[in-house]
Structure 1
């Protein structure tokens, strides 16, 4: 009609375009996570540190800044929890789980002292200089281990946080519990993970239901 001169302007210019939702965060399958966790060479102090960091990251769903900033006093192996100071200095207690506890015990026994080289520090996961590791350094470490594990997906430390949330939901965890563990102040931030979990359930249904 606009082209034929029947109307003066294009009425579609007044139509609001739909808002695009937030992109779904990248996640890893449980098999990919197992391959990534197994990638570091744990007979080496540096590799044992990295393995332990990956185990804690996946077990607790921490932000990378929370992980590299952990101190000895924040970890209670007897109670099996880690005290995390998140955004806005909000404090939360997150369970570690048996696997992470086991790796932490081994790391503290066999590797941390070698990394510190006699230097005093309360940093849980020190760098080779005995200082707190930077987020960028750990990002490079996890990229290296992902290459060793032959994981095709481009990953970052945040990918394991996404995997933590997605795998919990896939196994039936309550959304509000996941919200508390992640340290999200708003439930809507956590709800994005339900889309990934729902896609996984739909895939399982399609592959296993007789009428899928």
Structure 2
């Protein structure tokens, strides 16, 4: 059995049974192709590798200077691949079952302050009013809609970029978003986000883009704005607002949405639902915000506190 055969079957299973996105499938393919390339240097094949060869691969990753998070991700791909081969009867054993990953602490997400985000939004609106060429004004209005929506909803940029134009025409206070694995969830919308979407719809209609099915149309293969272009627009906005462009990305705004909600009293389970996390453990990376809030409550409310 060739390496391409079981790998193709594995990716098909991930797509059909688990609803893996194209980005997730590409990541699995890249990771397992890298494993296969290393195994050829040992005279082994991907589908027939043993535990010793896989341990050698993980050691090679560390020797190449890969971070613990990357090694852990590669190990996860290996475990899932060989578990699949074993379950489907392509192997009589699972060589990855006993492998141990690197010990690593979970990094806290980068978080903007409320003042940072307010400044970014104010700058985006101010730039959209400047006298510039029509194409540039259209891009700036799109940036206003992007940042208002990202901060108001906590959507993943892949979810926001692929929103249909019909989402902006809703008269309700929420939109239905299709997230990872094709799962749908209801996401509330505030007035500022709805106003930004309405202004963006008017602008793209005036620019002759009103017939596109996507909220953020593009001439690219997907038909809608890419994550990369959205990130570049935000970095341009960061520079205009006097912030370090490296400190701003769509995912940083998602972190700001979650952290600011928790800091103002939101329940962790509610934030989990809004973010579209399947497992509460993913959301628990934000518990440092809860710890700070609890410490502040004790400091401010306990009768024997030193706070004045």
TM-score, scaled relative to structure 1: 0.80
Cα distance in structure 1, aligned partners of 2:276 and 2:195: 24
Matches within 5 A, 1:33-72: 33-40=117-124, 41-43=127-129, 44-72=137-165
Check conservation: 1:53, 1:125, Cα contact below 8 A. no
Match of 1:167 among 246, 255, 260: 260
Matches within 5 A, 1:46-125: 46-75=139-168, 77-109=170-202, 111-115=203-207, 117-118=208-209, 120-125=211-216
Task: Give the length in aligned residue pairs.
Answer: 193
Cα distance in structure 1, aligned partners of 2:293 and 2:248: 19
Unmatched segments (≥5 aa) in structure 1:
1-17
Match of 1:21 among 105, 113, 131: 105
Q: How far off its partner does 1:20 sit?
A: 3.0
Cα distance in structure 2, aligned partners of 1:99 and 1:119: 22
Partner of 2:282: 189
Partner of 2:95: none
* Structure 1 residues 61 and 122: CA distance shift in structure 2, 3 A: same
TM-score, scaled relative to structure 2: 0.57
Cα distance in structure 1, aligned partners of 2:120 and 2:224: 23
- Report SS of the residue matched to 1:83: strand
Partner of 2:233: 141
Cα distance in structure 2, aligned partners of 1:160 and 1:148: 17
Unmatched segments (≥5 aa) in structure 2:
1-101, 130-136
* Structure 1 residues 189 and 118: CA distance shift in structure 2, 3 A: closer
Check conservation: 2:204, 2:210, Cα contact below 8 A. no
Which protein has greater RCO, CA pairs closer than 8 Å, 6+ apart?
1
Q: Which of these two proteins has the greater Rg computed from alpha carbons?
A: 2
